[in-house]
Amino acid sequence: MADGRTLDHYAMRVVHMDGRPINWHNPPKATDQVMWTKRTTSSQTIHGSFRTICHLDRLNRLAYLRYGVGISVIQRDWNTGVPASAGTHDFDSVFDVWINGVDPWEAQRFLRRNGFGCWVRKPPLFGWHLHGFTLPLREGTSISDDFEVHGFKVGVYVDGGYSTHGSLVTSSQLADYYNHAFGLSGMHTPGSDKSWYPKNIEATIFDLKRFVEHRAKVGDAA
């Protein structure tokens, strides 16, 4: 598991948009915008909803403990500068990531176990990376509206359009993930992705309340 590694000197922080530290005893709302002190591999700042950035920070901490290396963010959420990623990265929760030195299939299993709905994207269609998103809390019978009902806005292909168009207007990567499909054009057949998925995907969803309570108890570094 942790191989004896600790987070005593963990340096990344979730902060307010103006750089002020988070008061973990009086935290922002889950949908409030905050920043992460880690930057993308191209030195862009990373921001997003409090829930999303806290989840990213937790994943980073877990990766340090497990692999001795954090998560590299190749493409951030709230990123509108990449035409090929329109409809996915333009709003909250969605990242392209990598864990240096870790086999991408191992990284995919690790991230999926910890509430990051993701897929290995690979040549020849893509350069190597993992594309994914913070799974929203489950609510009701429709999976694809889960971001919208909790107040999060995501790209049209991430939730099929619920949070941007008010209804399902196209394919949904969120639904594809629960259906073990690939989340790519023409690759939405349930069960078509034979790689490992958690037995109970809902059980992997990030618990913001627990994370905040833990931060309030032990601080940012621990």
Point out which residues bind another protein (CB under 8 A): 1-2, 7, 40-42, 58, 61-62, 65, 72, 74-75, 82-88, 96, 98, 100, 103-106, 108-110, 112-113, 120-123, 125-129, 131, 156-157, 165, 169-171, 173, 182-187, 194-199, 210, 214
CB-CB neighbours of 104 under 10 Å: 15
Nearest to another protein of 31, 85 (CB atom): 85
What is the SS3 assignment for 131? Answer: strand
Please report how close the Cβ of residue 177 comes to another protein at its closest, in angstroms: 13
Please report how close the Cβ of residue 207 comes to another protein at its closest, in angstroms: 10
Nearest to another protein of 17, 218 (CB atom): 218
Please report how close the Cβ of residue 18 comes to another protein at its closest, in angstroms: 26
Helices 208-218, 50-67: crossing angle, 10 deg rounding = 70
Q: Classify burial at 101, counting beta carbons within 10 Å of its beta carbon; exposed 0-12, middle 13-18, buried 19 or more.
A: exposed
Nearest to another protein of 15, 220 (CB atom): 220
Please report how close the Cβ of residue 88 comes to another protein at its closest, in angstroms: 5
Structure tokens at 54: 């806290």
Distances (CA, A) of 128 to 89, 99, 190: 17, 11, 24
Distances (CA, A) of 200 to 107, 178, 179, 196: 18, 10, 12, 12
Please report how close the Cβ of residue 138 comes to another protein at its closest, in angstroms: 18
Nearest to another protein of 53, 120 (CB atom): 120
Please report how close the Cβ of residue 117 comes to another protein at its closest, in angstroms: 14
Structure tokens at 135: 């799974």
Task: Find the helix or strand (DSSP H, E) in which 176 lies.
Answer: helix 173-178
CB-CB neighbours of 69 under 10 Å: 14
Nearest to another protein of 20, 217 (CB atom): 217
Nearest to another protein of 15, 74 (CB atom): 74
